[in-house]
């Protein structure tokens, strides 16, 4: 506890001037130095100042320790996905913000409040507050600097900028080991980002590390989430039997715990599993169940919708796919979104307009996916190569085949560089 700043806090709270507080004790210049922590203060002077303010050093220390525990509980509530508990603790901590500013936990408080903006999916406010806090980075402890970097990594992942996210997480992984007792969800996020980048082996590796930590800390919600991620990776590497067993357990646990979010994800992954098995009707049913439980116009909603549209096209049910696409594209708010681009490509595929599809892939699809999704960029390049080959334009076809190979190498290079 910074006792000088605490004295300043209580003096201001009681509307006392420096002269009123220090009269008969010390000079106002001496008090000013004490309040700014620029001078050592002897115990007798300190006790006299505290007595005049009606406070005790012991009680102020107890208050500081209590707020520190509450701050730790606030972060733990977010790690455990206890939204109501986190919100309540946030409000309680905010009531003591002025006092916290007088203590050494001020930067930790600000960083945990920054984490709350990610927890409640508020990226625009996160950007604003991050810009404000950035000026204090040089004053952060090693742990606080680790938190700052980690939260920026989560932010980039939420913005679908997965390469930026994984780059940050790679750089701070050694510190993640050092601070694993204080930050338990680093490996969970790293596994998730690797999975989204189609780095399935790495995602499995970090998923198992995350699972071990969550099992040790009894974080049931996170254990379920890791199992969902593990099941997806197992599906992609064709370990379908293990994936199915894991999904069945996760779905049963989610229903028992009334964890709707995990249930939605499990249903989506059952759709992925059945698609991998070639059971398109069963896959469509699971995806539809998942979609019907999701909030409309969210990233995960569009991800499941894209899977449904693709299956309808595979089943040659183009008219149904077209009607769904027309409805969603008409109400889509951001045409610069990668999900909008994916849906628009599917729409042009569904109506079999190769001319518009070619132009759109070249002008919008490839540039967007080169930035956000190399795996999808490879797919789009291959599609363009097929279109030009069918037209007899072998030069253009070879051009996009070459681009596809270059993007694939880049994807593999990014994969290898993260090891």
What is the structure's pLDDT at 414? 55
Instruction: Quote the tokens at residue 148.
Output: 């700052």
Burial of 35 by CB count in 10 Å (0-12 exposed, 13-18 middle, 19+ buried)? buried
pLDDT digits (tens, 9 = 90+) for 136-168: 999 999 999 999 999 999 999 998 888 899 999
CB atoms within 10 A of CB 25: 16
Q: What are phi and psi of 126, to 5 degrees?
A: -60, -45
Given a cut of 50, the residues of the chain with pLDDT beneath it are: 415-419
Q: How many CA atoms lie within 13 A of 77 on its CB side?
A: 19
Q: What are phi and psi of 337, to 5 degrees?
A: -75, 145
CA gyration radius for the chain?
A: 27
CATH code at 3-55: 1.10.260.40
User: What totals of helices (H) and strands (E) does the chain contain, helices first?
Assistant: 25, 0
- Whether residue 80 contacts residue 218, with contact meaning beta carbons closer than 8 Å, is answered with no
Q: From CA 28, how far away is CA 17, in angstroms rounded?
A: 9
Instruction: Quote the tokens at residue 127.
Output: 């950007």
Alpha helices in 197-279 (DSSP H): 200-217, 220-236, 240-256, 260-276
CA–CA–CA angle 276, 277, 283 (5° rounding)? 75
């Amino acid at each position: 506890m910074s006792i000088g700043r605490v004295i300043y806090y209580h003096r201001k709270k009681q509307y006392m001037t420096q002269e009123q507080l220090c009269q008969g004790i010390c000079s106002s210049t001496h008090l000013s130095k004490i309040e700014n922590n620029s001078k050592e203060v002897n115990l007798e002077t300190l006790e006299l100042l505290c007595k005049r303010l009606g406070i005790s050093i012991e009680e102020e220390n107890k208050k500081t320790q209590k707020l520190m525990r509450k701050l730790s509980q606030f972060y733990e509530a977010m790690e455990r996905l206890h939204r109501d508990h986190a919100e309540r603790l946030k409000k309680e901590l905010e009531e003591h913000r002025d006092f916290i500013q007088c203590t050494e936990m001020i930067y930790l408080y600000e960083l945990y409040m920054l984490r709350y903006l990610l927890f409640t999916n508020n990226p625009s406010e996160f950007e604003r507050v991050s810009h404000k806090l950035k000026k204090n980075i040089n004053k952060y402890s090693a742990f606080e600097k680790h938190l700052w970097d980690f939260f920026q990594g989560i932010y980039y992942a939420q913005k679908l900028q997965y390469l930026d996210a994984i780059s940050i997480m790679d750089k701070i992984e050694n510190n993640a080991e050092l601070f694993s007792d204080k930050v338990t969800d680093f490996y969970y996020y790293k596994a998730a980002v690797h999975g989204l980048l189609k780095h399935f082996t790495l995602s499995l590796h970090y998923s198992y590390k995350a699972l071990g930590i969550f099992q040790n800390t009894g974080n049931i919600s996170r254990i379920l989430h890791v199992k969902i991620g593990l099941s997806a990776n197992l599906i992609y590497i064709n370990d379908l039997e293990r994936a199915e067993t894991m999904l069945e357990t996760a779905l049963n646990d989610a229903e028992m715990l009334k964890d709707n979010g995990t249930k939605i994800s499990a249903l989506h992954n059952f759709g992925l599993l059945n698609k991998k098995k070639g059971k398109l009707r069963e896959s469509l049913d699971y995806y539809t169940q998942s979609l019907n439980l999701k909030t409309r116009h969210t990233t995960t909603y569009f991800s499941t919708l894209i899977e449904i549209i693709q299956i309808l096209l595979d089943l040659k049910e183009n008219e149904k796919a077209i009607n769904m696409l027309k409805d969603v594209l008409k109400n889509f708010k951001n045409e610069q979104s990668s999900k909008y681009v994916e849906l628009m490509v599917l729409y042009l595929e569904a109506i079999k307009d190769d001319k518009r599809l070619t132009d759109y892939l070249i002008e919008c699809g490839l540039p967007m996916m080169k930035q956000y999704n190399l795996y999808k960029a490879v797919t789009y390049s291959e599609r363009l190569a097929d279109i030009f080959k069918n037209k007899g334009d072998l030069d253009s076809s070879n051009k996009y085949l070459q681009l596809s190979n270059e993007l694939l190498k880049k994807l593999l290079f990014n994969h290898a560089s993260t090891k």
